[in-house]
Amino acid sequence: MALQPVKRKSVSDQVFDQVLDEVVDGGLAVGEQLPSERQLAEVLGVSRPAVREALQRMAQTRLVEVRHGGGATVRDFRKYGGLDLLPRLLVRDGGVDPAVALSVVEARTAVGPIIAALAADRGGPALTGALERVIDRLEQTTDSLAWQELALEYWDVVVDGADSIVYRLMFNGLRAAYEPALPALAPALATEVGQVEAYRLLAAAIGAGDPATARAAAERVLAPLNSSLVSAFTALGTDGGGAR
Amino acid sequence: MALQPVKRKSVSDQVFDQVLDEVVDGGLAVGEQLPSERQLAEVLGVSRPAVREALQRMAQTRLVEVRHGGGATVRDFRKYGGLDLLPRLLVRDGGVDPAVALSVVEARTAVGPIIAALAADRGGPALTGALERVIDRLEQTTDSLAWQELALEYWDVVVDGADSIVYRLMFNGLRAAYEPALPALAPALATEVGQVEAYRLLAAAIGAGDPATARAAAERVLAPLNSSLVSAFTALGTDGGGAR
DNA sequence: CGTCACCGATTGGTCTGACCACTTGACCAA
DNA sequence: TTGGTCAAGTGGTCAGACCAATCGGTGACG
pLDDT in tens, B38-58: 999 999 999 999 999 999 999
Measured CA to C1', the nucleotide nearest A6 is D21
Q: What is residue A110's predicted lDDT score, i.e. its pLDDT?
A: 93
Q: What is residue A241's predicted lDDT score, i.e. its pLDDT?
A: 39
Instruction: Kindly report the number of other CB atoms within 10 A of residue A99's CB atom.
Output: 24
CB < 8 Å to A83, chain B: 82-83, 166, 169-170, 173
- Whether residue A208 is predicted with pLDDT greater than 80 in this model: the reply is yes
- Whether residue A43 is predicted with pLDDT greater than 90 in this model: the reply is yes
Percent of chain B with pLDDT over 90: 48
Q: What is residue A234's predicted lDDT score, i.e. its pLDDT?
A: 60
Q: What is residue B237's predicted lDDT score, i.e. its pLDDT?
A: 47
- Give me the residues paired with residue B219 across strands: none
> Taking residues A175-197, what's their average pLDDT?
79
Higher pLDDT, B224 or A116: A116
- Whether residue A176 is predicted with pLDDT greater than 50 in this model: the reply is yes
* A10, A57, A103 ranked by CB distance to B166: nearest: A103
Dihedrals phi, psi of B96, to nearest 5 degrees:
-85, 130
Least confident range of A60-74, A157-171, B95-109: B95-109
Q: What is residue A233's predicted lDDT score, i.e. its pLDDT?
A: 62
Q: What is residue A232's predicted lDDT score, i.e. its pLDDT?
A: 65
Least confident range of A28-37, A104-113, A232-241: A232-241
Strand C nucleotides where any atom sits below 7 Å of a protein CB: 10-18, 21-24
Q: What is residue A4's predicted lDDT score, i.e. its pLDDT?
A: 65
| Closest A-chain CA to B122 | A241
> Residue B33 gets which letter from DSSP?
B
Higher pLDDT, A190 or B138: B138
CB < 8 Å to B110, chain A: 111, 114
Q: What is residue B244's predicted lDDT score, i.e. its pLDDT?
A: 42
Confidence bin at A231 (pLDDT 50/70/90): low
Query: Which residue pairs from A43-51 have beta carbons closer than 8 angstroms and sit at least 24 positions apart in sequence?
Result: A44/A15, A44/A18, A46/A11, A46/A12, A46/A15, A47/A11, A49/B49, A49/B52, A50/A11, A50/A12, A50/A15, A51/A12, A51/A15
Q: How far is CA B204 from CA A160, B148, B210, B218, in A?
A: 38, 21, 9, 11
Q: How far is CA A102 from CA A58, A226, A227, B27, B168, in A?
A: 26, 8, 10, 40, 14
Residue ranges in chain B modelled with pLDDT below 50: 237-244
Asked if residue B48 lies in contact with residue B13, where contact means CB atoms within 8 angstroms, the answer is no
Q: What is residue A242's predicted lDDT score, i.e. its pLDDT?
A: 40
- Whether residue A49 is predicted with pLDDT greater than 60 in this model: the reply is yes
Distance (Å, rounded) from C-alpha B244 to C-alpha B230? 16
